[in-house]
């Protein structure tokens, strides 16, 4: 088995109920961070981390995602005619970003079930999983941080971040031992524990490196929290057979699938933009926030 992570899976078939009505007829992965859809932000992260081939697991609303990564013939023609070379290059570049294929999760039965749809895409090699609504703003691309750990240890890796206080109850939480700075060997993991019972302050977020033995583990996983097939449960089963590592990510994570998280991510990304940052900062300063 090659030790290189070449493939990535993007589960994008969730119903996005936290973002209704925007997600009624369009995927939340197409919500823009300023002007770039969330899914493009994370596809770029994957490519910057060395990924060569991507499978997007879509649901009933797949068309906008597929169209976004396809050639946009009329638009390109028009941009060419109007000599908008920069915009043309940008639009064309999106369709050439990397190899992308699609499969459909017919029912939103949970993240574990969505990942199971990738079993034909990557039957024999370890692969990356990225959830586009978890945006990680970091110096080293988040997925690269996981790949570095995988290449060293050769076992599955989950991304975590520190969460202070009762907010930890919204996450899967690891019980783990630090084996080198910011790298942990996982002893156990619990989905959404009560604050008092959380085994640590390290919450699992939407980046994983998984190995193909996860597929039978998912098949054997019963419906868990919310009646969904949870990836945490399948990984927990696998823990009995092989080591699992966690990396505490360097960077800031935003939950862009949540309205407040999305607003915060939007403001932070806008402030960093060369073309918008200064004016936007002035506008924010001018607000009477009392
Ligand atoms: P979320 O927990 O954010 O669920 O899924 P959701 O359904 O998308 O959104 P809410 O909570 O109802 O607002 C985490 C990731 O797993 C994918 C989602 O697309 C998202 O990227 N997912 C979830 C699937 O692909 N299929 C599923 O059945 C469930």
249 CB neighbour count, 10 Å cutoff: 21
With 90 as the cut, is the pLDDT of residue 288 above it? no
Rounded to 5°, angle at Cα 168 from 37 and 22: 30
Q: Kindly give the distance from the C-alpha atom of residue 9 to the centroid of ligand 1, in angstroms, as a whole number.
A: 14
Mean pLDDT score of the chain, rounded to an integer? 94
The percent of the chain in helix, strand and coil, each rounded to the nearest 5, is 40, 25, 40
Q: Kindly give the distance from the C-alpha atom of residue 107 to the centroid of ligand 1, in angstroms, as a whole number.
A: 11
Q: pTM of the entire structure?
A: 0.95
Using a 6 Å cutoff on CB, does residue 27 contact ligand 1? no
For 53-85, what is each residue's pLDDT tens digit? Answer: 999 999 877 789 999 999 999 999 999 999 999
For 113-130, what is each residue's pLDDT tens digit? Answer: 999 999 999 999 999 999
What pLDDT is attached to residue 289?
Answer: 84
For 154-184, what is each residue's pLDDT tens digit? Answer: 999 999 999 999 999 999 999 999 999 999 9
Give the position, in ligand 1's atom list, of the atom nearest the Cα of 11. 25
Q: Please identify, in words, the CATH class of the domain defined by 7-286.
A: alpha beta
Which DSSP helix (H) or strand (E) runs through 39?
Answer: helix 38-48
Using a 6 Å cutoff on CB, does residue 17 contact ligand 1? yes
With 90 as the cut, is the pLDDT of residue 2 above it? no
In angstroms, the CA 18 to CA 20 distance is 6
Structure-token pair, residue 56: 């997007």
- Contact in structure between 179 and 248 (CB atoms under 8 Å): no
DSSP string, 11-52: EE----GGGTTTTSSS-GGG-EETTEEHHHHHHHHHHHTT--
176 CB neighbour count, 10 Å cutoff: 22
Using a 6 Å cutoff on CB, does residue 18 contact ligand 1? yes
Using a 6 Å cutoff on CB, does residue 57 contact ligand 1? yes
The preferred substitution site among 111, 129, 136, 259 for testing ligand 1, maximizing ligand atoms within 8 Å of CB, is 111
The preferred substitution site among 225, 257, 258, 261 for testing ligand 1, maximizing ligand atoms within 8 Å of CB, is 257
Q: Kindly give the distance from the C-alpha atom of residue 77 to the centroid of ligand 1, in angstroms, as a whole number.
A: 36
What pLDDT is attached to residue 1?
Answer: 52
Q: Kindly give the distance from the C-alpha atom of residue 175 to the centroid of ligand 1, in angstroms, as a whole number.
A: 24
Helix (H, G, I), strand (E, B) or coil at 271: helix
For 38-48, what is each residue's pLDDT tens digit? Answer: 999 999 999 99
């Amino acid at each position: 088995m090659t030790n290189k992570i070449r493939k990535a899976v993007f589960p994008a078939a969730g119903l996005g109920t936290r973002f209704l009505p925007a997600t009624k007829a369009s995927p939340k992965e197409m919500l823009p961070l300023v002007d770039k859809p969330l899914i493009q932000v994370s596809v770029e992260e994957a490519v910057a981390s060395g990924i060569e081939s991507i499978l997007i697991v879509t649901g009933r609303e797949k068309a906008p995602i597929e169209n976004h990564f396809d050639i946009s013939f009329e638009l390109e023609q028009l941009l060419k005619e109007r000599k908008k070379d920069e915009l043309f290059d940008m639009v064309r570049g999106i369709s050439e970003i990397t190899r992308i294929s699609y499969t459909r999760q017919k029912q939103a039965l949970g993240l574990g079930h969505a990942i199971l749809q990738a079993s034909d895409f990557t039957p024999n090699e370890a692969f990356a999983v990225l959830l586009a609504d978890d945006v990680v703003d970091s110096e080293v691309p988040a997925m690269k941080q996981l790949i570095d750990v995988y290449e060293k240890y050769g076992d599955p890796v989950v991304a975590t971040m520190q969460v202070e206080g009762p907010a930890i109850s919204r996450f899967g939480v690891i019980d783990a031992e630090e084996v080198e700075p910011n790298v942990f060997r996982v002893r156990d993991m619990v989905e959404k524990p009560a604050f008092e019972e959380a085994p640590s302050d390290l919450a699992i977020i939407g980046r994983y490196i998984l190995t193909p033995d996860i597929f039978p583990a998912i098949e054997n996983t019963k419906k868990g929290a919310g009646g969904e097939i949870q990836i945490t449960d399948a990984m927990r089963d696998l823990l009995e057979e092989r080591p699992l590592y966690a990396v505490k990510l360097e960077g800031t994570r935003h939950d862009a699938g949540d309205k407040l998280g999305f607003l915060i991510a939007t403001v932070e990304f806008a402030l960093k933009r060369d073309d918008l940052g200064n004016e936007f900062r002035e506008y924010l300063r001018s607000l009477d926030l009392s």
